[in-house]
Amino acid sequence: MEIMQVVGSLVCTQRVAGLDHCYLRVLRTSKGTINVAVDPVGVSVGNWVFTASGSAARFACPNPEALTDLTIGGIIDFWSPDG
């Protein structure tokens, strides 16, 4: 689990069947690393979220057979990052 901030959406011109038409969000870690995650929650730009990675990411999706290794698990309200 890691806490990240949503910085945008990713629009695909072609979908892979294993992504199951999930929304994709661009996330930034506290160190500035950019990641792309599946969004079953429905987050907005600027939200702070917690993520599940690896095999746990699939089980955080509505369909555990989705092909992902990073999924947004939920929104963190009133989060102020350290630093």
List, in order of start, the domains of the chain with CATH numbers: 1-73 (2.40.50.220)
Give the C-alpha separation, 47 to 78, whole Å. Answer: 9
Give the C-alpha separation, 21 to 83, whole Å. Answer: 36
Give the C-alpha separation, 72 to 51, whole Å. Answer: 4
Per-residue pLDDT, 56: 93
Phi and psi torsions of 26, nearest 5°: -95, 125
pLDDT digits (tens, 9 = 90+) for 15-54: 778 777 789 999 999 899 999 999 999 999 999 999 999 9
Decide: helix, strand or coil at residue 17.
helix
Per-residue pLDDT, 79: 81
Q: Which residues lie below 8 Å from residue 56, measured CB to CB, with a gap of 6+?
A: 71
pTM over 0.85: yes
